[in-house]
Structure 1
Amino acid sequence: MSDAAGSAHSSVPCEQPHGSPVSHYGLSSPTLDAFDLPPAPASPTMTTPEAESRDRPERPQPARTASAEHDSLKYHLLGPSLTKAGQDTVDQTKVSEVIYNASKGSKFFNNEEVKDKNLTEKINKILAKRRQLEKIDLTSDQRRADDYIAELELSRDMSQVIVHLDCDAFYAAVEELDRPELKDVPFAVGKGVLTTCNYHARKFGCRSGMAGFVAMKLCPQLICVPMNFAKYMAKAEEVREVLAMYDPNFQSASCDEAYLNLTEYCQEHHMTPEEAVSQMRADVYEKAKITVSAGIAANAKLAKICSNKNKPNGQFLLPSDRQTIVEFMRTLPTRKVNGIGRVFERELDAIGVKTCGDIYAHRAYLAKLFGQKAFQFLMQCYLGLGRTIVKPAEDRERKSVGTETTFRELGDRDALRDKLRHVAEELEGDLKRTEYKGRTLCIKIKLHTYEVHTRQTTPPFAVNKADDLYRYSLPMLEKLMKEIPDLKLRLMGLRVTQIISTKKPGIDFFGRAAKTSSTSSKASTSKNEGTWETWPEEEFEEAAQQERNDEMNELEKLSQEQGHQEEERSAPEPQWQCPICSISQPPDDASFNAHIDFCLSKQTIREVVKSTAPSPEKQSIAPKPITKKGKRGRPKNEGSISEQQAREKRRAFFSLGNNN
């Protein structure tokens, strides 16, 4: 189902959510064809994907093609927020051209070009391996895939009401509360890289994760306001107070989105899921004065997808019916699934997997091409399965805690050590807040050429203090300084892994929290421990989030690089400021002397005295009043001002300015 379906009101946010759009999926959904349903597990013969998809309706091809040399790069440059709501009418081809031309020639562009080339080479290897696999009998692989599908179907849980709630253009909405005049104009929050765009700006192709100077090319009238995190966090807390009344154990996915399980609430209050969510959205608006959108489904994966269907200020319900869910996923582009980023999307697209429905036809190849975990994740996507456990983020098992910072090109050794100390202090704050310490310490740097290097070490004890973090990471930085001549950095980060909770009592000897079982996670068994494995979707979601974070960091550096280049291009030629009238003059001795001669003329002095009446302090800069004048108003017994005198006056003026 396309994003346009059920979102007729999505172009204009409503003032009150009571009358906001509410959509169902599948009220009159067609009967599924045979190829949409998993076959019997024991398939006697191998069926090729081509044969299985022969009778399928022809699907639209992606907008990008391989004909142009940089088509894949242009698509990649569209950014991490390509699937954000509010861009249905945007010509993404034109947007990609603007981004391509604006960033071409930059270090960021060169780095993206290298990454795109490397990905193309990787895809060529995948395709070569695919051609080899087509020559052998994969009957056993297909049988295992079918067995896994049957196993997954047995674990399908449709008894829960899972809701994903997402604030509409959150930062922008908060800014509009203080500046109502911004509601009807395109504006964004953030300067170097946009963190949020309102829906007026999105119509021009602007989106979060876009470099500010690129957005200005798409929408010259765009207004950019600086971020105010304290204000956003205060507003987010107001929203959370409402959510806690519906599910005390709701999970914050970020400051502006959350997962809730409303099963118990609906039962206790005798409400349908749609009624409960509509009421919750109204309560959020009444409390925080911002609108939110919601997706309602049987699991978290589906709810996340659905919350983007009826934005802004709407909700979308996917009925908890197997046939409806499979049909819904059949036409869903893979990129719409949380956990499939731009890289994985392109790899899947290369082998012909453009929608989740295409996954089934390629089931015999997926494990050999992408690995077992990717195979499991993709089969769950095809079936529309996901986790049904919703719990606070602090109760979820973490694997690492880290922080990193971007900055303008930095090469001074002492400055880099100071930066490392700053990062260590930031990480100490994060570890204190999350109540963890780590046994392994990793350092990450990104060169001015965008090349990434990482190193890790194992301190003699688990660390969480800035002094210890700095002490054990400094040798790694020093070694990198020696290994890389003329080291210049744009990013530095520290991360601890093998983390140990400093709060929870239920930690084993090695500091690992015991894994909890999920009603939906009984798909396979750990060979070593005999406990149920966690859903692989969480690992893919984390990887996709890291991909987005890396992209945001690189876009920030592009913005910094562009800003530095613009400063160099737009920096005016050094001007010599007249110490008498303070007007800047071209840096030419002859013309500057002529100007000072003019300023010292009798008529000019008279006008200055009349109009400005300089104070005694300012008179120290100008010539002292004289009673006798020679020709052209020059002080008697003095010739025209010399070049040396003019330069001395300039130096005096600039030294005064530097003290301010």
Structure 2
Amino acid sequence: MILHADLDAFYASVEQRDDPGLRGRPVIVGSGVVLAASYEAKAHGVRTAMSGGTARRLCPRAVVVKPRMSAYAEASKAVFAVFRATTPLVEGLSIDEAFLDVDGLRTPPADVAVRLRREVAEEVGLPITVGVARTKFLAKVASGVAKPDGLLVVPPEGEMEFLRPLPVRSLWGVGRATAARLARYGVTTVGDVADMPESTLVSLLGPGAGGHLHDLARNRDPRPVRTGVRRRSMGAQRALGRRARSPEELDAMLVGLADRLGGRLRAARRLCRTVTLRLRFGDFARATRSRTLPQATAETPRILDVARGLLAAAGPLIASRGLTLIGLSLGDLRDDRAVQLALPLDGVPWAGEVDAAVDGVRGRFGPSAITRAVLLGRDQGMSVPLPPD
């Protein structure tokens, strides 16, 4: 049996925990773009990734707070400590959710879930929802149905009875477009998908998506809970709000994102080959632009150079449609020991030395303006002194 444990409205719940005056009130984290909303705010239609202006119009009484990423990271560490005290088989999905394999424990899975929820509430002070089932897919669906602050156990003999009436969008991989395509053929529930021949699904959606949905609709999900799996990508982003940004401002933000990700790469002794720029426009449409490098790298200057090229290519779109979010992700990660190192960037022998110096500054002072100053100064051919050891 597998547990899917998912913290409820995580960022907003941390704010309500730390400020008793916010408890029971609608809370929105983030002003330009909603990063999280309490369930009191969600009741008014506020949703994650919505513009701050729209959210405030929907819920004028909401309290808007600035995000505190360090507080959320600490809360996440405390919750995952409870997970690992429950079972060593924990597969983290994000900062606020994980799968736990409890099949080998002597305690019945339902009792394990009850204890887990109680310990998270008592030790960390946060509400958490848990779904329990035989497969990852069904456990995650169960937690979604049980939210907020709930527990739902799907017994093996009741799996299909539980699954069949659910809307088709409960299936992983079914978004708005796929749901609309299936609806044109009268397919609106998981049961409808389960009743379709696999060949029909494949003809509608292609071999990958069709076979995937055919299996999930019948609760075929043999994936085990996997521990110690290294990530294949990492990313960072920044919400911009509705105010127009100059090219210089966007470039400074891009420098900050590249600096942060480059430091994370080197700290984890990883290299990347693919750099992806992620954009969200004024109409909330999204676009990505990516480039795969001939040689894997962890050098911030190289990552920044590629990111700047992608941003420049997207310039006309940004100018015509506006920009509300800019993000950068690094993909195709591999261990640095497994890859032959290339020559320094563009023949600059001291590129790695600057990266090392920047990492040292970051470790002592945090990812602040001084870090970005080193990168920007070097770009402009200036010598930027670092603080003495």
TM-score range, shorter chain: 0.7 to 0.9
1:454 offset after TM fit, Å? Answer: 2.3
1:275 offset after TM fit, Å? Answer: 1.1
SS of equivalent to 1:207: coil
Question: Retained in 2: the 8 A contact 1:457–1:472?
Answer: no
SS of equivalent to 2:212: helix
SS of equivalent to 1:165: strand
Question: Retained in 2: the 8 A contact 1:445–1:453?
Answer: yes
Q: Residues 329-408 of structure 1 correspond to what in structure 2 (within 5 A)?
A: 329-363=163-197, 364-392=199-227, 394-396=228-230, 398=232, 400-407=233-240, 408=243
Q: Distance in 1 between matches of 2:205 and 2:25?
A: 45
Q: Who is 2:345 aligned against?
A: none
SS of equivalent to 1:290: coil
Q: Distance in 2 between matches of 1:486 and 1:194?
A: 23
Q: Residues 235-634 of structure 1 correspond to what in structure 2 (within 5 A)?
A: 235-265=75-105, 267=106, 271-321=107-157, 324-363=158-197, 364-392=199-227, 394-396=228-230, 398=232, 400-407=233-240, 408-412=243-247, 414-444=248-278, 452=287, 454-459=289-294, 461-477=295-311, 490=323, 491-502=325-336
2:64 to 224, 247, 256: 224
- String of CA shifts for 1:621-658, please: whole Å, max 9, x gaps: xxxxxxxxxxxxxxxxxxxxxxxxxxxxxxxxxxxxxx
Q: Distance in 1 between matches of 2:51 and 2:141?
A: 26
Q: Distance in 1 between matches of 2:277 and 2:69?
A: 27
One-letter code aligned to 1:233? A
Cα gap change, 1:383 to 1:508, in 2 (>3 Å)? farther
Question: Retained in 1: the 8 A contact 2:296–2:339?
Answer: no
1:381 offset after TM fit, Å? Answer: 1.9
1:409 offset after TM fit, Å? Answer: 3.0
Q: Distance in 2 between matches of 1:437 and 1:420?
A: 19
- String of CA shifts for 1:74-106, please: whole Å, max 9, x gaps: xxxxxxxxxxxxxxxxxxxxxxxxxxxxxxxxx
- String of CA shifts for 1:548-583, please: whole Å, max 9, x gaps: xxxxxxxxxxxxxxxxxxxxxxxxxxxxxxxxxxxx
Q: Residues 632-643 of structure 1 correspond to what in structure 2 (within 5 A)?
A: none
- String of CA shifts for 1:242-287, please: whole Å, max 9, x gaps: 111112231122222111001112x3xxx21111111121122221
Q: Who is 1:513 aligned against?
A: none
Question: Retained in 2: the 8 A contact 1:325–1:383?
Answer: no
Q: Distance in 2 between matches of 1:218 and 1:448?
A: 19
Cα gap change, 1:442 to 1:287, in 2 (>3 Å)? closer
Q: Distance in 2 between matches of 1:309 and 1:331?
A: 12
Identity %: 28
Higher radius of gyration, 1 or 2 = 1
1:162 offset after TM fit, Å? Answer: 0.2
2:39 to 196, 199, 208: 199
1:241 offset after TM fit, Å? Answer: 1.3
SS of equivalent to 1:184: coil
SS of equivalent to 1:252: strand
Question: Retained in 1: the 8 A contact 2:281–2:322?
Answer: yes
- String of CA shifts for 1:216-241, please: whole Å, max 9, x gaps: 33332222222211112212211111
Q: Distance in 2 between matches of 1:181 and 1:447?
A: 35
Q: Who is 2:48 aligned against?
A: 208
1:451 offset after TM fit, Å? Answer: 7.5
SS of equivalent to 2:146: coil
Question: Which has the bigger relative contact order, CA under 8 A and spacing at least 6?
Answer: 1
SS of equivalent to 2:139: helix
Q: Distance in 2 between matches of 1:222 and 1:473?
A: 37
- String of CA shifts for 1:87-136, please: whole Å, max 9, x gaps: xxxxxxxxxxxxxxxxxxxxxxxxxxxxxxxxxxxxxxxxxxxxxxxxxx
Query: How many residues are aligned here?
Result: 335
Higher strand share: 2
Question: Retained in 1: the 8 A contact 2:32–2:239?
Answer: no
SS of equivalent to 1:164: strand
Q: Who is 2:3 aligned against?
A: 163
Q: Distance in 1 between matches of 2:180 and 2:28?
A: 29
- String of CA shifts for 1:476-501, please: whole Å, max 9, x gaps: 555666x8896886254444443322
Q: Distance in 1 between matches of 2:148 and 2:22?
A: 17
Q: Distance in 1 between matches of 2:8 and 2:95?
A: 12
1:181 offset after TM fit, Å? Answer: 2.8
Question: Retained in 2: the 8 A contact 1:281–1:292?
Answer: yes
SS of equivalent to 1:188: strand
Cα gap change, 1:417 to 1:337, in 2 (>3 Å)? same
Q: Distance in 2 between matches of 1:485 and 1:284?
A: 44
The gaps in structure 2 that reach 5 residues or longer are 341-389
Q: Distance in 2 between matches of 1:385 and 1:247?
A: 24
Q: Distance in 2 between matches of 1:417 and 1:212?
A: 24
1:404 offset after TM fit, Å? Answer: 4.0
Q: Distance in 2 between matches of 1:332 and 1:264?
A: 30
Question: Retained in 1: the 8 A contact 2:134–2:156?
Answer: yes
- String of CA shifts for 1:365-387, please: whole Å, max 9, x gaps: 21122111111111112101224
1:336 offset after TM fit, Å? Answer: 2.2
RMSD of aligned residue pairs (Cα, Å) = 3.0
Q: Distance in 1 between matches of 2:155 and 2:19?
A: 40
- TM-score (norm: length of structure 1): 0.46
- String of CA shifts for 1:166-201, please: whole Å, max 9, x gaps: 122222222222322322333332222333333333
Question: Retained in 1: the 8 A contact 2:170–2:190?
Answer: no
